[in-house]
Amino acid sequence: MVQRYVMSIDQGTTSTRCILFDARGRLVSVAQREHQQHFPRPGWVEHDATEIWRNVARIVPQALADAGATADQVVGLGIANQRETTVLWDRHTGHPVGRAIVWQDTRTDAMLEQLAREPGAARVRQLCGLPLATYFSAPRVRWLLERTPGLRERAERGDILFGTLESWLIWNLTGGAEGGVHVTDVTNASRTMLMNLRTLSWDDELLDFFDVPRRMLPEIRSSTEVYGKTSRVVPGIRIAAALGDQQAALFGQTCFAPGEAKCTYGTGSFLLLNTGQTPVLSTHGMLTTVGFKIGEEPAVYALEGSIAVTGSLVQWFRDGLELIGSAPEIETLARTVDDNGGCYIVPAFSGLFAPHWHSEARGVIAGLTSYITKGHLARAVLEATGWQTREVVDAMNADSGLALSSLRVDGGMTADNLLMQFVADVLDVPVVRPMVAETVSLGAAYAAGLAVGYWPDLEGLRRNWHRAGQWLPAMDPARRDSEYAHWRQAVELTFGWMRPGPAAVAPGSDLVDVLLADHHRFEQLLRELRNTAADRPALVAELAAELVAHATATDRILGADGEPFADELLAVLDGDDFEKALLRLETVVDRHVRAEERGPLNELRATMSTSDRTGLGRAFAAERRRQLDLRCGEPGHIRELGARLKL
């Protein structure tokens, strides 16, 4: 009997791999080639899409040859890819218009600050589930269209195509300029900021906001279906699946039910939680994304926490500080001490991702004393990954209402047993690693095999999953809580670092003083609004922004509950029966101010040191400033928050 295989192409940030899997999900052969990283300016990261395509053309035949297999033994091909990385190319020649702009690239930061002030900015997250951030594709497309002479006109004529890497590879594999299929899947489309998360189609409002021509976009398809057959490299193979790499890992870890989660530990780390067939819009800094869509079945959604720096912190410890000679040595060095000695490293090398989203933050080493050795620093490096995972899991639990019961892990860092034990300790749940480490490639293969009937159903895939290692929590709860509090204090020190000046909080700003200053400003604005000769629209807009920013910062930094006030605030913004609406809002604000000054402020003065209040003050002010930068007082944003908006 002729052996049949499923092929997977894993197009990653640093390399591309082709793997053949058998019916039991076992790796049969693998071929891999790295591609060059280009850093033309600070903050810019680029790849050569043509080089990546050439690498695919080499590794696919190699993987077949290594397995002693032919193309007719491959039942289907699945593609997983680095997400958000943006390629534009000429439909007629197949040549990219320039290098691909990689997901790590931050060149669109200034553009996004401007877009955040535009009408409709508050609608973006409601429609696509993503915040305005340099991480995603749409701002890069706009940047290229604006800065490449004649490119917008060519795109509007349909001569220029846009895609993430799976679109680029599928188009080339199916013929390129000679009839290539221009498609993407819902998981990759959900990372562009251009797809409506509920309709799973390109959204006219988002296209208008980012000024992206519809004619350049690929057709959105499900994650598991036959898009076409290869006509180049190795002709005749059905291309039957495409998923973004982290969604592919979710699929490869068989996290098919709501509440199941995986975390991939690599250069950065990505934690995805299956939330079922309804998207959960995050209020705690998570990303709402599509997990996968099987054929004609409803889409399955996920919450994602993206951590920018985990494995790359170990690389910095090795290459930048030269305290170890190889990455695995960090575990040995960390085991020379029993704890971190009170030292914490927050690796905000280029800002903080989830759940904070502070692009202006920069890294700190906190708690240094003469007692600290390189062993303590090594331990702090590993613990930073654990604590960042804890922050993401806490936010996910709060958003989803689902309590994580275990965490499936994969990626290179899972070989570090000390780290995995620490993750289990700080999460207080079991951490489990599967037998097959290549979960991204396996997930793409599973999806393709499912599409062509190689595997009958999801339960068949679950039976292929086998545990290779497990770590159970063993940390004393009191120690866990104490160390987490110190970690959060260290994180707060990173906020606002790249935004000094009038908008920044002075280093000595006590939280009590920050809150009292807010109260004073509320009262001042309300007094001015009673003056019928005042510029009421401007004052109302400022009051709305200040109140929403204060309420959001209070919820996220202090965790305090309060009285819903969205209806009262919207009534003032709408302007109908203004005097009556203003009186109702003033009553709510007055109750909040009096309650806060009688209760929490006195408690803060009595129970917390000045330095602790200062740390919280900085964090509160940074969060408030971030909300103001996002135009949080827009009516659309207030309606989205609804009953969650409390004073």
Instruction: Indicate the burial class of 9 (C-beta count within 10 angstroms; 0-12, 13-18, 19 or more).
Output: buried
288 annotated binding-site participant: no
Listed in sequence order, the residues at least 6 apart from 393 whose beta carbon sits closer than 8 Å to its beta carbon are: 261, 271, 305, 404, 407, 427
315 annotated binding-site participant: yes
Place of tokens 């003065």: 605
84 annotated binding-site participant: yes
The secondary structure element, H or E, covering residue 238 is strand 238-244
Cβ count near 45 (within 10 Å): 20
Whether cis (ω within 30° of 0) applies to the bond prior to 355 is yes
5 annotated binding-site participant: no
Among left, alpha and beta (phi > 0; psi -120 to 50; other), residue 398 is alpha
126 annotated binding-site participant: no
DSSP assignments along 38-93, one per residue = B--STT--EE-HHHHHHHHHHHHHHHHHHHT--GGGEEEEEEEE-SS-BEEEETTT
CA geometry: angle 418, 420, 423, nearest 5 deg: 110
Q: What is the CA radius of gyration of the chain?
A: 26
**Which sign does the torsion angle of CA 145, 151, 153, 156 carry?**
negative
The SS3 assignment for 345 reads strand
Nearest to 487 by CA among 366, 590, 579: 366
598 annotated binding-site participant: no
Tokens of 398: 């709060």
Place of tokens 């054929």: 295
13 annotated binding-site participant: yes
**Counting every residue, how long is the chain?**
647
The SS3 assignment for 7 reads strand
The secondary structure element, H or E, covering residue 130 is none
Tokens of 437: 């480490």
Place of tokens 């409709």: 120
Q: What is the DSSP letter of 20?
A: E
Cβ count near 173 (within 10 Å): 28
Among left, alpha and beta (phi > 0; psi -120 to 50; other), residue 501 is left
How far apart are alpha carbons 288 and 125 in whole angstroms?
9
CB 561 within 8 A of CB 645: no
83 annotated binding-site participant: yes
One-letter-per-residue 3-state SS of 594-618: HHHHHCHHHHHHHHCCHHHHHHHHH
114 annotated binding-site participant: no
552 annotated binding-site participant: no
587 annotated binding-site participant: no
The pair phi, psi for residue 108, each rounded to 5°, is -90, 10
106 annotated binding-site participant: no
311 annotated binding-site participant: yes
How far apart are alpha carbons 232 and 181 in whole angstroms?
12
Q: Provide the strand spans (E) within 504-640.
A: none
Q: What is the DSSP letter of 149?
A: T
Tokens of 330: 């960090």
Partners of 357 in the beta sheet? none
Q: Binding-site residues for ATP, please?
A: 13-15, 267, 311, 315, 412
Q: Binding-site residues for ADP, please?
A: 13, 17, 267, 311, 412
Q: Binding-site residues, please?
A: 13-15, 17, 83-84, 135, 245-246, 267, 311, 315, 412
Q: Binding-site residues for glycerol, please?
A: 83-84, 135, 245-246
Q: Binding-site residues for sn-glycerol 3-phosphate, please?
A: 13, 83-84, 135, 245
